[in-house]
Amino acid sequence: MNEVPKWSMPTLSYHEGVPGHHWQISIAHELKGLPQFRKVIPFTAYMEGWALYSEWLAKQAGWYEGDPFGDLGRQRCNIFNESPSARHLMTRR
């Protein structure tokens, strides 16, 4: 966690927690009548799409109001997710 700036933690929380991966996977486990392949094969694009939607939803819901550094962290994560070259620069040491 030392590599994640403190001001990026709100976005990481929305991405991984609620309404992100944790919530999505919890709901998926409660669904009844799913075909077997939906239970055992991970659909990474769908899962990451859900988490990115969660980040967007947090912005739309106003969860960053009064937290300009948190919003900066959200924008940093957007750049990281959308640009392979930016991802390379951000993870370089």
**Per-residue model confidence as pLDDT tens digits over 62-88:** 999 999 999 999 998 888 777 766 556
Q: What pLDDT does 84 receive? A: 67
For 16-35, the pLDDT digits (tens) are 998 999 998 888 888 888 88
What's the burial of 59, exposed, middle or buried (CB within 10 Å: 0-12/13-18/19+)?
middle
pTM value?
A: 0.75
Of 22, 31, 91, whose CA–CA distance to 54 is shortest?
22
Q: Which residues of 24-53 are buried (b: 16+ CB within 10 A; e: fewer)?
A: beeeeeeeeeeeeeeeeeeeeeeeeebbbe
Rg of the chain on CA atoms, in Å: 15
